[in-house]
Amino acid sequence: MAMANNKTQCSTCNKEKITYSCKGCSKDFCLIHLTEHQQILNEELNHITHEYNEFKQRINEQKQNPQNGLLINQIDQWERNSIEEIQQKAKDYRKIVIEYLPTFFNNIEMKFNDLNEQIKQIHAENDFNEINLNYLKNQLTEITKELNNSSNLSIQQESQSFINEISIILEKKSKFNKWKQNAITVAAGNRCGQKLNQLNLPDGIFIDKNKNIFIADCDNDRIVEWKCNAKQGQIIAGGNGQGNRMDQLCLPTDVIVDQQDHSIIIADRGNKRVIRWLNQNQQILINHICCYGLAMDKYGFFYVTNTEKDEVRRWKMSEYNNEGIVVAGGHGRGDQLNQLNYPNFIFVDEEQSVYVSDRNNDRVMKWKKDAKEGKIAAGGNGYGANLNQLFHPQGVIVDDLGQIYVADCWNDRVMRWCEGKGEGEIVIGGNGKGNQSNQLNRPCGLSFDDEGNLYVVDCFNHRTEKFETIL
């Protein structure tokens, strides 16, 4: 609450006085009524605290004896009616419910513990207003509803047989995202060209936390950044003609942003080098390498594919004066599990497993950390358009559930593969080669933003498409 410079009307007594503005309700109060207003807020906070304590007591009571719940009683009644034939199954179902309930209560406990910390902080700082109180009330209401609502767990009963079968239904959100099939063009799409609203055979892509898009504009020999919702991009590296000077690029294929210093790291393929750009200053990180794809993990390691040596190497960031370590391939060109054939894009997960688009083998390989050979994660059944095949795969990314997304380039589609499954599914495209909003023409780079929207570099359409997730 800040003191106003001039006398204004108190919202309580309506007199012209020196007043103080409350940021919560945006009203002005004189000193007397400011104290009164603060007392009202204190009483409301005490009321919320009381409701919180009651909620805590209720959840503790329910946690202590979860077997007295309605669901368990239904299972017991079913057991009695069906006699001995279903006793074993009833025992199994009780186990499922009892094992589920601690997780249910733990999730709620985590939420109200967080709420408790916020209430303690407000008490300690004694600096709050209506906005803070409304937030606390809403949070308490939400978790109270969650505790009272047992729809996450229900009984499904079948009556076709002599003995009524039951099963436990644990309601879950689908882990399989879906996307709108008509894309929004977020970069270029104005035919092939060198203007700032155009691209020329774009390849790799990187999305930062602000949804800014960084594109390796390959045949324009430049890296272009498209701000979120921008109508045109801006050149942040290259763009000075094709060449091997420090301020030039030659057919760049991939780009990533180092979150530590916000520098741009580029696979400058035509010059056989990996180069860093920071505020228009350049530094060659790795030289004499047929680089294509780049990746960086959370531990500070940097990964590069080499299409000439059919391998992926890893470097410790800031330690590029060595040859790096081979983490995938490196056993000559071939289709064995320890070989690659023209690896291009890569993805590295939280466990430092490396996923490689093994282009000429029409497969994606997964190499676990320190593994001597990889395993086929997608494709590997020859080139083709069947659901168990890929045709010259390019971009590859993996979501938090371990599901693999592949730009199936020559099939003009994006595929999703679940590890261990014999075939994938089409999630984007697959509607023939074309330039309509539901079509692709040689997709290359892939990326997600933090909302799960899927970005596809539509190479031969010279554009980048955004497919919005369906909630």
Element (H, E) at 195: none
Query: What pLDDT, in 10s, does the model give residues 319-356?
Result: 777 889 999 999 999 999 999 999 999 999 999 999 99
Identify the helix (H) or strand (E) that includes residue 413.
strand 413-417
Query: What pLDDT band is residue 200 in, cutting at 50, 70 and 90?
Result: very high
128-144 residue pLDDT tens:
787 778 777 877 887 78
Q: How confident is the model at residue 176 (pLDDT cuts 50, 70, 90)?
A: low
Q: Kindly report the backbone phi and psi dihedral angles of residue 119, in degrees, each rounded to the nearest multiple of 5, phi listed first.
A: -65, -40
Rounded to a whole number of angstroms, the distance between the first and last alpha carbons of the chain is 40
- Residue 165, classified by CB atoms within 10 Å of its CB into exposed (0-12), middle (13-18) or buried (19+), is middle
The stretch 207-221 carries a mean pLDDT of 95
> Using an 8 Å Cβ cutoff, are 357 and 394 in contact?
yes
340, with CB counted inside 10 A (0-12, 13-18, 19+), is buried
Can you read off the two tokens belonging to residue 106? 């733990």
**What are 140's two structure tokens?**
């308490």
Report, in angstroms and rounded to the nearest whole number, the Rg of the chain calculated over CA atoms: 30
CA 408 to CA 385: how far, in whole Å? 9
Domains of the chain: 8-56 (no CATH), 87-170 (no CATH), 178-470 (2.120.10.30)
Query: DSSP characters for 279-347?
Result: TTEEEEEEES--EEEEEE-TTSEEEEEETTTTEEEEEETT--SS--EEEEE-S-BSSSTT-BSSEEEEE
Asked whether the predicted pLDDT for residue 459 surpasses 80, the reply is yes
Which strands sit side by side in the sheet containing 205-207, from one edge to the other? 205-207, 213-217, 222-226, 234-238
Place of tokens 């978790």: 143
Neighbours of 158 (CB within 10 A): 10
